[in-house]
Structure 1
Amino acid sequence: MADDAEGWDLSDGLGEPPVPGLEGPLQEQQESPGPTERPGDDSGSHPRAENVEQPEPDEKEKDGKGYDDLRRVLGQQTVHNNFYASVDASGAAFGFGTAATPGLAPGSVAPSEIDKALRFYLGPQPCFDEAFGKLESEHIVVLTGQDNSGRAAGSFALLRKITGGGAGLRSLSPANSLADLAASRDIKAGQAYVILDYVGETHVDAVQAFGIKRLSEELQGKGSYLVITAAEDTRRRLALRDYCVPWHTPDPLELFHHCTQLPSAPDVPSDLPAELLERVKELRRPADVVAAATGLADGPDVALKALTDSDRELVRNWFHKEPPAGDLLPLAALAFLEGVPERTFEQHSVQLSAHVRDWEQTGELPAAEADGAATTARRGVVFRQTRARWKEQAVGLVRTERRAGPGQDPSRSERRIVFHSPRIRELAIAELHDLYGYELWYPLRQWLSGLSLVDDLDVRAEVARGVALLARHALVEVDENLLRTWAGGITSQRVTTALTLQFMCDDPHLAPQALNVALGWADRKGPERAITSAMALTGRLGSLYRLEALNWLWFLTHRGERMAFAARRSLVLLLQTAEREPDRAVFMLRYVRTRIAGTPRRSTARSHALRATVQLLEAHQLEGTGPLPAALLSGIPDGARHLGSLWTSVLLSVCRRRAVGALCRTLVALRDEPQGADVVCHLGEAMHAEMSPRQWDALRKDLPTALNHPEYAIPGARELAHVLLGSLSN
């Protein structure tokens, strides 16, 4: 294996926790020797652990259908503008690999990102000085407080001040165990570390306290520092109590004046409107205050207009009128079914009304009625909201539009009901959560669970988006009452759960929670939940926490066949979504190369690794039927070296025939590329660097024979095969 793969640190210095009862995703289990890898054997057989129940064929077929659904939704996300949130939202992200918040994705944080985050920074007092003192003495501090209170920027400011800006800053995974991080002894000297929105500790207080003390000593010995941001309830954990500093936002007016007095600030009139300052005083998020200050470049009137949250006022006014159930329930339904065809929306909206009516039979009052008389008046009418009434009662909140579904001909466009803006949907869910109790949410949860069972993928995708928005306000209820049940349910429910965790990553404060939820199902929670975990670790979640996702998916490839099947499909999906992101694709290819290099030949672990590898080589592009390796060879710098190494690894395995077939399909796809010959030449050179004489002789015989197959006997493909073999022979 090439030198860049050998010895590559898969733990990234993060001290990954082992899985309870097993050696965990980062430590290979002691495998018994497997069968000899014979070049002529293409049976696809592989070593299986004893006493592992093999899945029924229909179970794997259903799991495969779930992955087809997941691939379809992730493909739509990648192609349709890559929007993951409303365009004007601070949490919007473009593309799978983009993190809106510096340090959200584990890895090095560039100085330019820190400069941008601290451009308008004003440290709140006295908590900033208190945190600095604790960091100076203990080398570790935990900033606790509400989301959007500036904790992340505060952590960067503290680390920059204490290191003078000369140390590198590295973000660690929020799911790390602090005790295991201390035990790993991978803390680098003179390094600054940050963990944003920490969720990872699972040890009891006594063990945790000992581990954190060791971590503090390790940091002090290396001259390194660690700042953690966490929720307010972290202060109640005895082991962390001595390291916590309650964090709060700076005074809004002080921050506003600080921003306007910076040299880079726009010219500010001496007599700002009093209404503008009053609006600023009401702001609670530092980011909103900074936006108000920078908005003065367009004039005070424009800044004042921007501060007037018309969407919020519109939604609040609508709810404060105490709408009757006939108006409330359709709006609640739309919050979880925005954009589906109108006929589909009406069908499911009626079902929500039926759930509420069934709940009324218990003697409780309806969700939106004031007295029993109103209940009687409503009996016998399931759905009173006509389309005309809808436009009249929800004016300003919703509208109808005509458009076709994804991949449909424009002539098949349908009427669809949507909110006037993405923000209104989020605000409507917030008001539903804040104003209504069990009498609404109990039937609403039943209704959502019913929708998670339907075959319509577009409906389930919108349910997932709505539930992800609800998780911003009721994460515990969403997890306990919906996700935990769906994760162990049928295929459609598991896909809905995985999509919900993907959409939760739109909110940088929910992304660590989504990771924590997904990893909680990866082991000893049953095959269904393990498969749900594997599905969730693709797409946006797998992009943000790429090393952690790869470690756990690789671990699952060594479990029972059904879980291994799902994990391999997830690995393929991760690589498919990385096609347009060279850095992430190369990271994943290097990861697989390193894993193969670390497994002994003729072992069970080697067979698992090669089965996963050949599926990557056989993969198609996320959108279309073209082979993915051809796209990676053409579009990713140094892709030939990594893919050549993977092909070489499987040429003398039980997967050899499949590998040769994948190579033929790649040559066919490259025949029309302008630089196809050069790409194939580089691929051959990469394979030659690692190929043994026995492998070369086998490929020299197999490749021309395979190209005689009608599927591959296409003009140009054989010529590229000669280029490849010529590069190998040289």
Structure 2
Amino acid sequence: MTAVDGPAPATARSSDETPEGAREARREYGQDQQGLRQDQQVFNRFFGPVLLTGGSTLGVANAGDEPVAKAASRRMTGPVPAVEIASALGRYAVPALHTRAMAGLRAHHVVVLYGEGGTGRRTAAINMLHAAAPRSLVALSPAETLDKLAADQVYREGNGYLLCGLSAGDLQAEAADFVLGRLALRVQEAGAWLVITSQAALGDPRSAAVPHFRWERPGTVAVLTTHGVAAELAESAAERLGETTPLSDVVRLAEHLVAGSGLEDALGRTGMGAAEQIESWLDDERRTDEEVLEAAALLFLEGMPEQRFEAHLARLTAGVPAPEQEGAGDQGTPLPARRLLDGRRPRRDARSIIKVEERITDMDLDVPGPPRRCLVFRSPAVHERVGAELSLQFGERFWEPIFTWLHETVQIADVETRMQIARGLAILASYGHFDTVRERFLQPWSEGAYGARAWVTAPKVVWWMSAHDPIAAMAVRTAIRWARSNNPARRQAACLAFAGEMGVRYPADATKWLWHLVTTEPEPGEAQVALAQLYALLVEIAPADARAILADLGRRLAHRQTADRRERILKTLLLVMAVFGVSGDHPAAARHLLARAEDLPDMAALWAVALCHRPVRSAAFGVLYDLLCAVGTAGRTPEEHLRMIGDALHEALPEHEREPFRAGFERYVIRRRAGGDTGRLLLSILLNVFRPPAPVALPERR
């Protein structure tokens, strides 16, 4: 396949060709056994400062904002972090329906909060569940179906469960009501509580099976004052915002006002009024077709150097038919030649939604150079909302050439440009165009119909979608459909999707479906690499969340009484070796131990099973040696860390396996260490830990 060298034909390739295309894409972009290096580096640069928590915004943080903390979890499922609970409880403006919804939860143990996004349903659900069940709050996956929630989900007494973004799927209203009744009965019998949020009612809202409440956000003044804004200032801000502004935007405004910003400054920094600004810009009688197309193109290429952007824009404008001038169409006369001044760049004044910034960027270049003129939107909010405004005012004739241009551009673009294209498509999908993005881009790209670069971009679109709350659930379901597809390229695209931001936000779904691919694929190496990459990414971003992968592997080794027991144990242990063997500057497992020593017992338990299983023992020795060497060189107190690892291994290994391990590992270290100080240190410590007990001296006979 030669798609990486130029545009590929827009025709679907056969299923027996797509695996080779996927393998070529991995070779081209560094996504092989060494990991998703190039794309993951770009992924980290984009998602580091992105505002992924505290609201549904997708834009990049302002230059003055603090970046997301390295150890901050972005996980959306599993136990709800204490910091999120505290935030939800401390700054909660009580909506009008809260009292009725709370009464419904106490009576039925299950309620549904439905309606448009941006109304604070998740915050309301956390407050309701905390009031009903203060023991523990658990967020469930939006990929679950009503049937599975009613039949398979385990509910524990005293726990509260939160499920955001559930869809009734293909169930009719009557069937959904029946399933909801079964679900409520299960939750009631378990003595638990469940709050579900969705965009639409799951059945008949009037049904008595489960109470439904169409949720509306609290008033703007109430939200601002709850966050500490003075009442008079809150009234002034509410007059400017109205009552339809998304709750997350109101909260961001409150934070700036409390920090001391004036109202105008705070409105500007948070991008309030972006929709009105774009609408006013479009309605300006001086606006030209070229400027509108420029804004549409910048939705997918923001931050690109101006000259590079203009080259891409020229291909777009060349593909858009020139508007017919009055009287020219009927007579067939050619349009007059464009004057030189007609080709001037648009004016970048204060009224424009686009501005120029001097940036140092390596986009489309092999070697970074000096700061260059880069085109960006006036604010992150404008970037996020420009797609929505263009969609409201322009129909299919406007978007069709843009979609064709995107198909062409993605096949010749570098990795950073493709990341921006993916981001723009996610923004478009989040404003009522999910079906269009899925049918026109995700489906053909994920099956390899537009070549390797488009194929490797499809998971990035899903990454960005999973970071946007209104469509996160649909992004998860898209990746799951890929994992279950008969198309090999789509299954490999699912591996990439779960190895990135989607796996960070939904680690339980990622481990579940990557394990599915490990056990069903003829060659499970792609899924093994993906899970190892996800583990390394979690160690880098939030080490506490990386423990979930170790726990999942431990459960799979513990429940091994199956018909194919030997094969499943071997696959699991090979997966363990892949996870522990993934490395960057240092093995991810070593960085995990140095960040969270309390997770050492879980890790040692997995090592013990691998060291006792002879088919993988040699590989386990090699990965263990690399980990010990990394800990010995990176840790501030290598002796202490190495001794802790030795003690944990000694505790985890069965007594009859300790001496065989000591003898075998001693031979391995002597063969590998080549006289190195680290090798001698770890060998002396481990030999001391595993030294055979001294024989007991018997008393002499008299």
| TM-score, with length taken from structure 1 | 0.78
Q: Alignment length, in residue pairs?
A: 652
CA contact (8 A) 2:428 2:434 kept: yes
CA contact (8 A) 2:174 2:204 kept: no
Report the residue type matching 1:479 in the other structure: R
Say what the alpha-carbon RMSD is for the aligned residues.
4.0
2:114 corresponding residue in structure 1 = 144
The answer to whether the aligner puts 1:169 opposite 2:137 as a matched pair is: yes
CA distance in 1, matches of 2:189, 2:648: 43
Go from structure 1 to structure 2 and tell me whether the alpha carbon gap of 1:707 and 1:285 turns closer, same or farther (over 3 Å shift).
Answer: same
Report the residue type matching 1:82 in the other structure: G
Candidates 585, 598, 603, aligned match of 2:559? 598
1:650 corresponding residue in structure 2 = 610
Identify the range of structure 1 (631-640 vs 141-150) with the bigger mean alpha-carbon deviation: 631-640
CA contact (8 A) 1:96 1:539 kept: no
The answer to whether the aligner puts 1:534 opposite 2:495 as a matched pair is: yes
The answer to whether the aligner puts 1:484 opposite 2:440 as a matched pair is: no
Candidates 714, 720, 726, aligned match of 2:682? 720
- The secondary structure found in structure 1 opposite 2:597 is coil
Report the residue type matching 1:113 in the other structure: E
CA distance in 2, matches of 1:294, 1:411: 37
Q: Deviations over 1:186-220 (max 9, x none)?
A: 22223322211213745555654433211111223
Identify the range of structure 1 (525-534 vs 435-444) with the bigger mean alpha-carbon deviation: 525-534
Go from structure 1 to structure 2 and tell me whether the alpha carbon gap of 1:401 and 1:239 turns closer, same or farther (over 3 Å shift).
Answer: farther
- The secondary structure found in structure 2 opposite 1:142 is strand
Report the residue type matching 2:570 in the other structure: S
CA distance in 2, matches of 1:221, 1:106: 23
2:8 corresponding residue in structure 1 = none
CA distance in 1, matches of 2:81, 2:590: 32
Candidates 541, 549, 554, aligned match of 1:588? 549
Q: Deviations over 1:326-355 (max 9, x none)?
A: 222222212101123444322222222233
Q: Deviations over 1:98-135 (max 9, x none)?
A: 467xxx7122335663453244544444x445534543
- The secondary structure found in structure 1 opposite 2:356 is strand
CA distance in 1, matches of 2:468, 2:247: 17
Report the residue type matching 1:528 in the other structure: A
CA distance in 2, matches of 1:325, 1:475: 26
CA distance in 1, matches of 2:168, 2:629: 47
Map 1:605-644; keep pairs closer than 5 Å.
Answer: 605-621=568-584, 624=585, 626-644=586-604
Go from structure 1 to structure 2 and tell me whether the alpha carbon gap of 1:166 and 1:247 turns closer, same or farther (over 3 Å shift).
Answer: same
Identify the range of structure 1 (666-675 vs 80-89) with the bigger mean alpha-carbon deviation: 80-89
Go from structure 1 to structure 2 and tell me whether the alpha carbon gap of 1:635 and 1:557 turns closer, same or farther (over 3 Å shift).
Answer: same
Q: Deviations over 1:481-506 (max 9, x none)?
A: 21122111144223211111111233
- The secondary structure found in structure 1 opposite 2:291 is helix
The answer to whether the aligner puts 1:570 opposite 2:530 as a matched pair is: yes
CA contact (8 A) 1:205 1:237 kept: no
CA contact (8 A) 2:354 2:375 kept: no
Report the residue type matching 2:437 in the other structure: V
Go from structure 1 to structure 2 and tell me whether the alpha carbon gap of 1:665 and 1:221 turns closer, same or farther (over 3 Å shift).
Answer: closer
Displacement of 1:268 in angstroms is: 4.1
Displacement of 1:466 in angstroms is: 0.9
The answer to whether the aligner puts 1:454 opposite 2:415 as a matched pair is: no
Candidates 364, 377, 381, aligned match of 1:423? 381
CA distance in 2, matches of 1:590, 1:648: 14
CA contact (8 A) 1:168 1:192 kept: yes
Go from structure 1 to structure 2 and tell me whether the alpha carbon gap of 1:505 and 1:385 turns closer, same or farther (over 3 Å shift).
Answer: farther
Greater relative contact order (Cα < 8 A, sep 6+): 1
Displacement of 1:452 in angstroms is: 2.9
Structure 2: segments with no counterpart, 5+ residues: 1-14, 59-66, 693-702
The answer to whether the aligner puts 1:464 opposite 2:422 as a matched pair is: yes
Report the residue type matching 2:112 in the other structure: V
Identify the range of structure 1 (309-318 vs 178-187) with the bigger mean alpha-carbon deviation: 309-318
Candidates 403, 406, 410, aligned match of 2:360? 403
Structure 1: segments with no counterpart, 5+ residues: 1-51
CA contact (8 A) 1:633 1:640 kept: yes
CA distance in 2, matches of 1:544, 1:87: 11
The answer to whether the aligner puts 1:700 opposite 2:663 as a matched pair is: yes
- The secondary structure found in structure 2 opposite 1:175 is coil
- The secondary structure found in structure 1 opposite 2:579 is helix
| TM-score, with length taken from structure 2 | 0.81
Go from structure 1 to structure 2 and tell me whether the alpha carbon gap of 1:298 and 1:341 turns closer, same or farther (over 3 Å shift).
Answer: closer
1:232 corresponding residue in structure 2 = 200
CA contact (8 A) 1:196 1:228 kept: yes
Displacement of 1:267 in angstroms is: 5.1
Report the residue type matching 1:461 in the other structure: M
Displacement of 1:398 in angstroms is: 1.9
CA distance in 1, matches of 2:640, 2:368: 41
Report the residue type matching 1:481 in the other structure: R
Go from structure 1 to structure 2 and tell me whether the alpha carbon gap of 1:641 and 1:410 turns closer, same or farther (over 3 Å shift).
Answer: same
The answer to whether the aligner puts 1:345 opposite 2:309 as a matched pair is: yes
Candidates 625, 642, 654, aligned match of 1:664? 625
Displacement of 1:469 in angstroms is: 1.2
